[in-house]
A and B are shown apart, each in its own frame.
Chain A
Amino acid sequence: MIFPVLTPDSLGLLLLGGVRILFYLGFFFYIIFALIALRQIEMMRKTVVTPFSSLVLLIGAAHLLLAIGAFIFAFFTLL
């Protein structure tokens, strides 16, 4: 069985690959978190109705879009 030879360069690439995957996972989980936050905002504004409620929902939606945007940005920057 032939083992690949680990040179400093290949080790660096391997590490960067691992870091890249970690970043992708991090941003992906952030999208899920933003979705839960949006769901929670909806529940909150139904529980207590204030004049500011509609704007809070808008902020939650903007947060979700930001999370998706960040994931796409990270995906293409780290390719």
Chain B
Amino acid sequence: MPEIFDSTKATKKAKLHTPQAPIGRNPEGGLTSTAEVQDVTVVEAAEDAKVSRMTTEERKSKHVDDYSSVMRNESPSRNPFVAFSAKPFNVAFDAQHSDEQVLLLLRQSIITQIKFVLIAIGLLFVPFLFNAVGMLDFLPLRFQFVANVGWYLLVFSYVLETFLSWFYNVYIITDERIIDVDFNSLLFKNVAYAKIDNIEDITATTAGALGSIFDYGTVRIQTAGAISEFEFVSVPQPSKVVSFLNELLIEEEQEFHNKRAN
């Protein structure tokens, strides 16, 4: 099970994995083993491992607030129904790495769902309309009643499907990747992943009166991977999302340079 985000653990984890004393050396710094040549190889490998481990630890010991001004201004989100959930608690996904943290979870803005709410309310009144015009009068009363029960079941299923589609079609940004989870229908699932350092271009588009008033829009991310474009459709605060992705990119670049310097 992947580890879920807990901001308090970020620094503790780094402390737990503090590098031990180099393998194969005695306190005086000399080699201890009898087979000296073999040991030199082991020690070199251990040193290499130490360098790469240090780099990972350095990154993991860094809390997202340390390098992201966007996240610094956001408090951790505990509400599972928000469309812009920064540093969400108890959120994970199936292909999450053990040391990967979910930093931002996005859904379509709640404003985009208002049309579905209005449709559902409209559908609730259809049986009354049918009764008013006497459309089912050719059926006995018990048949009419069962027809109404069936109709309300269909309305319930419409509401359930619309809600599930909104709730689980999410865009996730972790400290390593961006993930686009799509459930287009009951039988269609598509999950796309891209590493942060594969991002090439990011654009945010806010269109329409509602988008401008309620500050939501589409973020397009061009990547160098197999899937060339990711589209975060109608997400809240698109400019903030772009800023955060830029900060993550800068952080990834710095890590890359640190690795090379080491």
Report which A residues bind B (CB closer than 8 A).
16, 19-20, 23, 26-27, 30, 33-34, 36-37, 40-41, 43-44, 46-52, 56, 59-60, 63, 66-67, 70, 73-74, 77-78
Could you tell me if A48 and B90 are in contact, using CB atoms closer than 8 angstroms? no
The total of chain B residues at the interface (CB under 8 A) is: 37
Provide a sorted-by-A list of 5 A–B residue pairs whose CB atoms are within 8 angstroms: A33-B157, A44-B183, A47-B168, A48-B170, A73-B146
Q: A30-B150, A37-B161, A50-B91 are in contact. Are A16 and B156 (CB under 8 A)?
A: no
Task: Tell me whether chain B's interface is mostly helix, strand or loop, or mixed.
Answer: mixed
Could you tell me if B156 and A66 are in contact, using CB atoms closer than 8 angstroms? yes
* A51→B241 CA distance, assembly (Å): 23
* A59→B163 CA distance, assembly (Å): 11
CB neighbours of B204 from chain A (8 A): none
Query: B193 interface residue, CB < 8 Å from A?
Result: no
CB neighbours of A36 from chain B (8 A): 186-187
Query: B46 interface residue, CB < 8 Å from A?
Result: no
Q: Which A residue's beta carbon lies closest to that of B146? A: A74
B50 to chain A, nearest CB (A): 34
Could you tell me if B157 and A49 are in contact, using CB atoms closer than 8 angstroms? no
Of residues A41, A46, A49, A73, which shows the largest number of chain B Cβ atoms within 10 Å of its Cβ?
A49
CB neighbours of A27 from chain B (8 A): 150
Query: B257 interface residue, CB < 8 Å from A?
Result: no
Could you tell me if A51 and B90 are in contact, using CB atoms closer than 8 angstroms? yes
CB neighbours of B168 from chain A (8 A): 44, 47-48
When A and B form their complex, which 7 residue pairs have the shortest distance between CB atoms, in order from nearest?
A52-B80, A49-B92, A44-B168, A51-B90, A50-B80, A74-B146, A40-B186
Query: B70 interface residue, CB < 8 Å from A?
Result: no
Binary contact readout B166-194 vs A (1 if CB under 8 angstroms, 0 otherwise): 01101010000000010100110101000
Query: B128 interface residue, CB < 8 Å from A?
Result: no
Query: B28 interface residue, CB < 8 Å from A?
Result: no
Could you tell me if B4 and A49 are in contact, using CB atoms closer than 8 angstroms? yes
CB neighbours of A60 from chain B (8 A): 160
CB neighbours of B139 from chain A (8 A): 16, 19
